[in-house]
Structures are given as C-alpha cells and as structure tokens.
DNA sequence: TAATGCGCACACT
DNA sequence: AGTGTGCGCATTA
C-alpha cells in the first residue's frame, strides 16, 4: 500500500486541481505535491501508480489527454451495456476496450489495469443498487459489466514505466502522457489541443497489451498495501495486543506519520491530534491539507491533520467556520420551522446559503476573500471528513450524530465511538440472536463463501485453494455447492474462520475485504474512518448507513451482507 | 513568475 | 438536456 500520507497528498492534489478546473495530470500532480510537501516527483509518481493499482486513483483519458481521478469522487452515471467475466483475465474485454479506444495508445509496457475497470463497474453497480435499497441483496457479488462505449478511458497503470513519465518533473519522454496525448486522439482534438498535445510529446505505439488477469490483481493487491500479510499489517498498525482501542489505532497512524514528516509541531497524543467530529473513528484526521493551504502556513497548529501541520490555519479555520455556519443555519431553520415561519419544514442548506451566511458574518475574513470555489472546496473536504454531511438531495447538514466543530477533546471521537460501542457490545449479540432464527444459516454460508473466496484470493498459496479465486462470476451458491461437495468442507471452513477472525483484522484488512467484496469505493471510507476489525464488529447499522458518508444502497448492502453477518458470526462464536 | 480563479465551450452520458 | 471537464486567460500572491 502506498504510504497514507502520499495517498492523501495525491488525492488532495487531484481534488485541488479539479476544484480550480485544472487538469489533474501527472505533471501538475507532481509539481503540486512537490511544492506543497516537498516530495520528490519520482516518489510521487511511484505512489500515484500504487494508488492506481489500489484503485484509489483512476487513470483516465479525457479529451485526448491523461487525467487522474479521485476514485472516491468519480460519479459515473452510465450504465454498463454488457457484462463480462473478468476471470477471462480481463484480456478479451480489454481487447475490446482497446478496439474502442484504439485512438488512444499506451506505451505498451503496461498491463491494462483491470482494477480500473472493476473500479468503475463496481461504482455502476452501486448506482444500480441505490434504486433498490430495500431489496435483500443477492449475496452473490454482481458480475461487473463493462461499458463498451466508455469514452473516458480508464488507463492502465504503467507499472513498468518507471521514470520518464513526467515532463513537468524534469524528465523526458513522457511515456504515459505521450502515449495518449501524442497520439492525437483520433483527430478529435481541436487545433489548440493538438498544439498542446504536440507539446506533450508523443509516444506512438500500441496500447499496452498485457492485461492483468484478475487473479493477478488479487494476488498482488494485498501485498501492495501491506494488508495481505497479517504480520506486515500488524506492523503497520502498531499491532499491540489486547483490546485495540481507537486511540491505539490512531496513535499508530498519527505517530507513525508524524515521525516521518516535517510537521513535528503536532504534539500530544494521537487522539488529541484527531478531530473530534465524528462518532466514528477518526484518528486519521490526517486529512489532507486543504487545497487552499498555502505552503508557508502549513506548519501551523496540530489541528485535525497532525502531519500536515493542522491543514494550514486558513482552511482549517474556514472549515470550522463552515461547520459553525451550517450549525447556525440549521438552528435558524429549526427555529423558523418551530415558529411556523418556514413552510414545508427546513430550508435546504446549499453552498449558496452557506456562502451567503459566511460572507454576511464578516465579509472578508482573516483568510482573505471567501470565494464560492474556496468555500466549496472546504465544504467538500468537511463532507469527506464526516464533519458535514451531504444529503441525498445534495443539501448540507450536520452529521446525524452530533458533530463537534470544537477542537479535539482528550478523548477523541474514535474513543467515544469505541466506548459507546463497547458498552453496546451486547447489541451485537442481540442482533445476532434476533436474526439467528431467520437467515443465520444462509448468512453463515455466505460469509464462509466470501471469506474462502476472499482469503483464497489473497492467500491462495497459503491456504492452498488456488482454484478458489475471487471472481465476480463466482457466486456464494456455487461456492457453497462446491463446499458441500467437499472442496472445502466444514473443517476447512471452520479452521479458516478461526484464523480469519475479523477481530484481528487491521484497517487494511477491512479495506481489502470490502474492496474484494465489490465495494472499492466504499472501502475507502472504511480506510478513511480507520475502521479495523474490532471497530467493524462493533458498528451498528446506523453507523454504516450514515457514518461513512457512503451512499445508502451500497451501505445497506455492506451492512446486510457483510457487517451484520460478520458480527453475527463473531458473536456467535463468543457465545 | 507561478499559482489560482473561473467563464465557457466541449465531452460525455 | 444535464453534467463533468479543463482550456485559456485574468487575477493574485
């Protein structure tokens, strides 16, 4: 896995570039990361590639040039038009993709990243799922489809690319950019574009041939992010024994990061470094510095972002003010509603209202002019951080559970959640008992299936089930049948379950699990919220539905298919 | 001089 | 038609 700080830096940079309507290309990303964080462009490029492999960042071609997208923010409205089976190695499909996008050339040294396709398709699935949230989901992972007419092409990771991709980084022969841009892209580019394309240099050649078989993808991913090998993951997370508290989790990341960054101003415990704004674990309010952060302001307070030196005082303050504004406006709305002044309930809060309120408060603040864009960026950031919430109608509200814009308290939100959750541990058992008589067996089978499949894909060598790779075409039922036929057998499943006790999962394990489960985008939310196995087991329905800032459809599926089942299984074993 | 802001035309669904 | 994207230029630091 790429270092979390790089992940945040890069995602932040992509978001920033997008917010100012600049193309998030390699050159700009490298430049901005270097400028803001002093990171070596080569390293940035490496980390970016890792992120592409992790599906955290999507590499796309848009209007004839390469762009990078924050996968978590990509909203594809399209509907897949054909399905495919990725266990074809993705090859045939990618071939089709190549044909469709023959105008775009790669430098040929890359395996077409199937994960990219999967990423998008999973998102499509999620879109679909929203329309049917009440459906008890088919436990089978949906077969991803491929939009055969994708014009915004998802690009492969040029894993073997190495240096030489970034003209802006002082390197020549931008293979990645040139591969698409230099091609001229089927002549659709305007004259002005052509000029730019030419400037970018052109690598000819054919689009990369070797497509990554899915198996390969699943084999490598855990290793890449460190979650694949439990021992390694333990190391990453500090891995102290006993009850792993949020604080511990937080300290592992915060301290670890702080130690390797220049922002050593951050003092105190990790928990005190985390924002106390969500009921969910947020020690990782190692949030990216705001795109608005000026470099000279970065080494400021330890507020919300320990290693970015408080995200810069400016954006941090604006964020606080933003939250305060939303709260205030919400209170005003409530008051109005109570007085009957507002017909139809609360007035929706949008960017316009918030901006108006902020502006009316002080016009020009200490941090300068409050532009719409600026507020928007901070608003988005706060939504991403969970300190604000966007309703499904697009309005801005406070999170369901009290969000505190106040500075971090000694006991951070993570601790509060954990404490609450620990107190409610019996709830899990209650849930388990409540459902035991209904769908427990089916859920258990599904879980068993998904775990031999999931772990089988990650540790297939270890567990010796190489024939049991996770493929979207597999189904729990199929696998269940195989199980009944004795492929795995009760003993195997039992022992596997024992060794796969979710309570021991690291955050990366959780992320890996949900990524493999077909929820890569939502998996990021688990990473953002630093949900490890223990936390997962203690999450309540509402936490999943509202606390992760993920869409309702996927959230329901995640809860019903996975969280609940894992909890049920776990607490049953407790019994 | 580089970074940022943003109108507007284009790409895409 | 609606929305996302990013070029190109103006402005700001």
Q: What is the largest CA-CA distance in chain A?
A: 71
Question: CA A65 → C1' C9, Å?
Answer: 21
* Residue A368 β-bridge partners: A365
H/E element holding A462?
Answer: helix A460-463
Q: Is the CB of A406 under 7 A from strand B?
A: no
Return the HEC string of A382-407: HHHHCCCEECCCCCEECCCCCCCCCC
Tell me if A139 sits within 8 A of A517, measured CB to CB. Answer: no
pLDDT at A69: 86
* Amino acid A162 CA to nucleotide B9 C1' distance, rounded Å: 36
Tell me the C-alpha distance between A120 and A76, whole Å: 7
Q: Closest residue to C2 by CA to C1' distance?
A: A77
Strand B proximity: list residues 102-161 of A with CB under 7 Å.
147, 149-152
CA distance A226 to A259: 19
A403, β-bridge pairs: none
Q: What is the pLDDT along chain A (575 residues), one digit of tens a residue?
A: 457 788 888 888 888 888 888 888 888 888 888 888 888 888 888 888 888 888 788 888 887 788 888 887 775 433 333 333 333 333 333 333 333 333 333 332 232 333 333 333 333 333 333 333 333 333 333 333 333 333 344 443 333 333 333 333 333 333 333 333 333 333 333 333 333 333 333 333 333 333 332 333 333 333 333 333 333 333 222 333 333 333 333 333 322 333 233 333 223 333 333 333 333 333 233 333 333 333 333 333 333 333 333 333 344 566 777 777 777 777 776 665 555 544 434 455 666 667 767 766 654 433 445 666 666 667 766 766 677 776 555 567 776 443 333 333 333 333 333 333 333 333 333 333 333 333 344 444 444 444 464 444 433 323 322 222 233 333 333 333 333 323 332 222 233 333 467 888 888 888 888 888 888 888 888 888 888 888 888 888 888 888 888 888 888 888 888 888 888 877 765 55
How many angstroms separate the CA atoms of A340 and A356, rounded?
Answer: 23
Nearest DNA or RNA nucleotide to A21 (CA to C1'): C6
Degrees, nearest 5: CA angle A80-A552-A135? 75
DSSP A179: I
Structural element, H or E, at residue A51: helix A41-53
Residue nearest to nucleotide B11 (CA to C1'): A63
CA A151 / C1′ C4 distance in Å: 13
Q: How far is CA A35 from the centre of its chain?
A: 25
A372 touches strand B (CB under 7 A): yes
User: How does DSSP classify residue A549?
Assistant: -
pLDDT number for residue A27: 83
Give the nearest nucleotide to A75, CA to C1': C4
In the structure, how far is the CA atom of residue A190 from the C1' atom of nucleotide B9, in angstroms?
A: 11
CA of A298 to C1' of B3 (A): 16
Alpha-carbon torsion (A397, A402, A403, A406), positive or negative? positive
- CB-proximal positions of chain B, under 7 Å: 2-8, 10-13
- Strand B within 7 A of A63 CB: yes
Give strand pairing partners of A397. A389
Q: Do residues A539 and A529 touch, judged by C-beta distance below 8 A?
A: no
Question: How far in angstroms lies nucleotide B11's C1' from the CA of residue A560?
Answer: 38
Pair type for strands A57-62 and A65-70: antiparallel
Nearest by Cα to A250 from A301, A294, A302, A289: A302
Pairing mode, strands A153-154 and A57-62: antiparallel
Give the tokens for residue A11: 């995602």
SS3 A70: strand
Q: Which helix (H) or strand (E) holds A172?
A: none
Tokens of A176: 């990645």
Point out the residue nearest to B4 (C-alpha to C1'). Answer: A20
| A68: nearest nucleotide, CA–C1' criterion | C5
Per-residue 3-state assignment (H helix, E strand, C coil) for A328-361: HHHHHHHHHHHCCCCCCCCCCCCHHHHHHHHHHH
pTM surpassing 0.85?
no
> What secondary structure letter does DSSP report for A224?
H
By C1' distance from the Cα of A296, the closest nucleotide is C13
**Beta strand segments in A441-522, E:** none
Nearest residue by alpha-carbon distance to C1' of B13: A78
User: Sign of the CA dihedral A124, A64, A1, A418?
Assistant: negative
Question: For residue A402, what are the contacts with CB-CB under 8 A and spacing of at least 6?
Answer: A279
CB A10 within 8 A of CB A72: no
Comparing CA positions, the residue from A70, A146, A156, A148 lying closest to residue A113 is A156
Asked if A262 and A298 touch (Cβ cutoff 8 Å), the reply is no
Q: Which residue is nearest to nucleotide B9 (CA to C1')?
A: A190
**Which tokens sit at A390?**
């966007």
């Amino acid at each position: 896995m790429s270092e979390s700080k790089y992940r945040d830096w890069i995602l932040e940079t992509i978001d920033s570039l997008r917010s100012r309507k600049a193309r998030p290309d390699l050159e700009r990303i490298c430049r901005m990361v270097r400028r803001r964080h002093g990171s070596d462009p080569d390293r940035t490029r490496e980390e970016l590639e890792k992120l592409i492999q992790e599906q955290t960042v999507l590499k796309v071609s848009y209007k004839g040039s390469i762009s990078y997208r924050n996968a978590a923010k990509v909203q594809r409205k399209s509907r897949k038009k054909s399905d495919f089976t990725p266990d074809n190695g993705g090859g045939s499909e990618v071939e089709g993709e190549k044909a469709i996008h023959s105008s775009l050339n790669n430098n040929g040294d890359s395996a077409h990243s199937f994960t990219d396709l999967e990423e998008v398709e999973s998102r499509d699935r999620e879109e679909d799922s929203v329309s049917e949230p009440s459906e008890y989901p088919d436990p089978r992972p949906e077969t991803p489809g491929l939009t055969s007419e994708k014009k915004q092409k998802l690009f492969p990771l040029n894993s073997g690319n190495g240096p030489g991709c970034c003209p802006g980084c002082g390197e020549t022969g931008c293979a990645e950019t040139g591969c698409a841009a230099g091609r001229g892209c089927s002549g659709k580019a305007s004259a002005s574009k052509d000029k730019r394309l030419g400037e970018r240099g052109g690598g000819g050649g054919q689009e990369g041939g070797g497509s990554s078989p899915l198996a390969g993808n699943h084999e490598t991913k855990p290793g890449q992010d460190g979650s694949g090998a439990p021992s390694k993951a333990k190391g990453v997370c500090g891995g102290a024994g006993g009850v792993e508290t949020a604080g511990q989790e937080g300290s592992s990341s915060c301290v670890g990061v702080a130690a390797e960054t220049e922002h050593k101003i951050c003092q105190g415990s990790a928990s005190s470094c985390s924002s106390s704004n969500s009921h969910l674990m947020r020690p990782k309010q190692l949030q990216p510095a705001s795109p608005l952060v000026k470099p000279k302001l970065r080494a400021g307070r330890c507020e919300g972002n320990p290693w970015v030196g408080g995200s810069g005082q400016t954006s941090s303050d604006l964020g606080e003010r933003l939250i305060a504004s939303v709260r205030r406006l919400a209170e005003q709305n409530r008051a109005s509603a109570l007085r009957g002044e507002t017909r139809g309930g609360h007035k929706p809060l949008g960017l316009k209202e918030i901006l108006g309120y902020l502006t009316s408060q002080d016009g020009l603040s200490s941090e300068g002019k409050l532009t719409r864009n600026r507020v928007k960026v901070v608003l988005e950031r706060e939504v991403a951080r969970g300190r604000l919430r966007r309703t499904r109608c697009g309005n801005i509200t406070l999170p369901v559970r009290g969000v505190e814009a106040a500075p971090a308290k000694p006991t951070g939100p993570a601790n509060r959640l954990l404490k609450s959750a620990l107190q409610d541990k019996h709830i899990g058992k209650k849930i388990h008992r409540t459902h035991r008589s209904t769908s427990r067996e089916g859920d258990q089978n599904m879980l068993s299936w998904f775990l031999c499949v999931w772990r089988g894909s990650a540790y297939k060598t270890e567990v010796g089930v190489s024939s049991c790779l996770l493929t979207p075409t597999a189904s729990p039922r199929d696998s269940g049948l195989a199980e009944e036929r004795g492929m795995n057998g009760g003993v195997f499943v039992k022992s596997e379950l024992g060794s796969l006790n979710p309570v021991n999962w690291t955050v990366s394990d959780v992320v890996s699990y949900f990524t493999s489960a077909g929820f890569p985008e939502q998996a990021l939310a688990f990473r953002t919220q630093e949900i490890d196995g223990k936390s997962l087991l203690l999450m309540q329905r509402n936490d999943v539905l509202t606390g992760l800032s993920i869409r309702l459809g996927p959230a329901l599926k995640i809860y019903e298919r996975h969280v609940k089942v894992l909890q049920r299984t776990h607490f049953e074993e407790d019994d």
